Amino acid sequence: MKVLFTTIVLFISSLCFGQHTYFYENYEFKEGFGFDSIDTRYANEEEVILYEHIAREFVVEDDGFYEYLLSHEIRYINSDKAIEENNKVYIPFGGTTKILKEECRVIKKSGISTLDKKAIRETEGDEGTRQFRYFAVESLEKGSIVEYFYIIRKNASYQGTYAYMQGSVPKQKLVYEIISPSHLVFLSKGTNGFPEPKEWQVEGEDLNFLHFEAAHIPGIKEELFANTNANKMQLIFRLGQNTARDDLMMNTYSRISDVIWGNTHTADKKEIKQLSKILKGLKLDGKELKDQIFDIEAYVKSNYSVVNNSNDELSNIKAILKNKFCNEQGIVLMLGSLYEAAGIEHEIVLSNDRFDSYLDREFDCYCFLSDYLIYFPEIDEYLQPVATLFRLGLVRDDLRGNYGLFISSTKVGEISTAISEIRAIPFDSYMTHRSDMDIQVRLSDDLDKAEVKSKRLWTGYSAVMGARYSYVNESDRKELDEALQNMQIEGMTVTKFELENEGVENVGKEPFIVHMDYESSSMLEIAGEALILKVGVVIGPQSELYQEEKRKLPVDQDNNRNYDRKIEIEIPEGYHCSNLDDLNIYAVLGEEKNPGAIFKSTYTLEGNKVEVTLIEYYTQPQVPIEDYDAFAAVVNAAADFNKVKLVFKPN
């Protein structure tokens, strides 16, 4: 959900250049992108974008500031999959967005067929619902070229955008343009090798023209443990200057801090009074600061639900208290105001999902301010208002490892001002997210199956499974149980299943624990008198990176994490085991003393009891491509352990 800066008004309309038509008003289909133009390097591709042209022209008109968006694409379609992915086109419109032009044609060796406008459908809906004009691309077949463009006029989004210049399909040629009146200067930055713009002068036009051009942008595919989007070529831009007003600081973070603070803290005395009453009911006096913060958060999250809607009522304290629901803005306002009323020092943090894009420290862009956190400097902890299942300390993992805009309020005399700075939101320690196991394995008395007693303990993200129990119905509950019982051990029967600390009230306080006993005959293979115990399966299925196609992207994981596991194996009486050394598995990324990732399993033998200790943890979510093999070795070491079999032979 994007942050709405509704209170910002942009004073630019004072300068009006009379009746302006937009630059690409007479735009037509592009010639010169036929079959001959396809570069030979794409001969075996299923799909190629031969030409893409996006132009965003910002125009000041009498009644407002608008953007004319041209989106034009010429795509070579060379497989059934490509047809299926391209045979429907949806153009967003509705509200103030108007479609000015829409054209589509399919070029085949046998000729060209152009879309009949009558075939375009349109959705209907009330204000605020998503609307589309849409059509099926007709006469599309393998080996054809589909070309379409549309131009829409919409409210200008000038406060900052990041746009992907690279996608999963290769692009032969890309043109991206930002056009604005000469007094409005857009600033831009390309990432991951996207080229600098050429500044164009167009004769007879008093326009700023940023013209970007790139050729042969390769397609980028999803890989395991990778951040595909952040590795794409991107273009970040915003309206940065209004020279007619000598304003060179437009849309910078310093401009917006007061607004954000104001939007997230009520100044209405009546509302503050109502909130104080709530605080009183929470009986916070005498509690430690951390508990006070926790209790306020728990109160709000369990009594108000977040609805994805921008209706004003949902971000107005009076209405929220009455209706019990709010939107993201509303829940931040509730929490911010409550913490302020309770006199608890806090900062409002805005950041974004790093798996979409990393917040760029050098380029101010409101596009990176899409998710709210609240930071408490005294205890150095964060909370995420909108995350119902999370509590203090736990925030969505894609927001960690990114930078954020931290806004705090300070008083100078009687006047409060908000100040902001960019700081890192660090990853949690690997010990925050634990998935531990304590397991005992023995064979049944008739030596026909394995019997397992297990205690699994989770903290951090993994413990959120337990929180879900607070929100379920009976049938969902069975599903959750079944998910926890599924160790992917064939033929297993659960004989005991007990939960400890389930429920959202335990998140961030107590670990979530599952006690489970089970038995499986498949875990025990038989070869004559020898018994083969597939003991490794008790740690459950593991991620593996055994045989990947050539790795292209560096590793970017969700979070740090730790797995402490102990397995006690009882060798049946009258048997011995001479391949216990198979339990020793080791792989490390970096130095063992301070590893980026490590897997190490060792054992001790006492009498007929084998005690296996497994250490596995990840302390470095981001691993450069040159260390990929060492990283994969650690991941695979755990997967290798999952396959360990012990052979018991009669004495």
Residues from 34 through 93 that contact other proteins (CB under 8 A): 79-81, 83-84, 87-88
- Print burial letters for 418-445: b (CB count within 10 Å at least 16), e (below 16): bebebeebebbebebbbbbbbbbbbbee
Interacting span for other proteins (CB under 8 A) from 70-78, 454-462, 526-534, 593-601 = 526-534
Do you know the residue count of the chain? 651
User: Do the Cβ atoms of 410 and 391 come closer than 8 Å?
Assistant: no
Interacting span for other proteins (CB under 8 A) from 202-210, 302-310, 328-336, 408-416 = 302-310
Q: How far is the CB of 493 from other proteins (least distance, A)?
A: 8
Q: Which of 158, 190, 153, 187 is nearest to 70 (CA)?
A: 153
Among positions 209-238, residues that touch other proteins (CB under 8 A) are: 221-222
Q: How far is the CB of 324 from other proteins (least distance, A)?
A: 5
- Applying CB under 8 A, the site for other proteins has a residue count of 77
Among positions 502-521, residues that touch other proteins (CB under 8 A) are: 504, 520-521
Q: How far is the CB of 262 from other proteins (least distance, A)?
A: 26
Q: What is the 3-state secondary structure (H, E, C) of 586-622?
A: EEEECCCCCCCEEEEEEEEEECCEEEEEEEEEECCCE
- Print burial letters for 187-217: b (CB count within 10 Å at least 16), e (below 16): bbbbbeebeebeeeeeeeeebbbbebebeeb
Nearer to other proteins by C-beta: 14 or 308? 308
What mask of x and - would describe binding to other proteins in positions 338 to 377, judged by CB under 8 A? ----------------------------------------
Which of residues 18, 204, 281, 528 is near other proteins by CB under 8 A? 528
Report which DSSP code applies to 643: T
Does 313 participate in binding other proteins (rule CB under 8 A)?
yes
Among positions 549-568, residues that touch other proteins (CB under 8 A) are: 549
Interacting span for other proteins (CB under 8 A) from 230-238, 353-361, 367-375, 547-555 = 547-555
Q: How far is the CB of 528 from other proteins (least distance, A)?
A: 3
Does 140 participate in binding other proteins (rule CB under 8 A)?
yes
Nearer to other proteins by C-beta: 85 or 570? 85
Interacting span for other proteins (CB under 8 A) from 97-105, 366-374, 625-633, 637-645 = 637-645
Among positions 439-498, residues that touch other proteins (CB under 8 A) are: 470-475, 477-478, 482, 488, 490-493
Give the separation between CA 360 and CA 271, rounded to whole angstroms: 37
CA torsion sign, 294 to 296 to 298 to 301?
negative
Does 636 participate in binding other proteins (rule CB under 8 A)?
yes
Which of residues 4, 530, 605, 625 is near other proteins by CB under 8 A? 530
CB-based contacts of 32, cutoff 8 Å, min separation 6: none
Give the separation between CA 389 and CA 405, rounded to whole angstroms: 24
Under DSSP, is residue 321 helix (H, G, I), strand (E, B) or coil?
helix
User: Do the Cβ atoms of 644 and 535 come closer than 8 Å?
Assistant: yes
Does 532 participate in binding other proteins (rule CB under 8 A)?
yes
Residue 61 is encoded by which pair of tokens?
């008109």
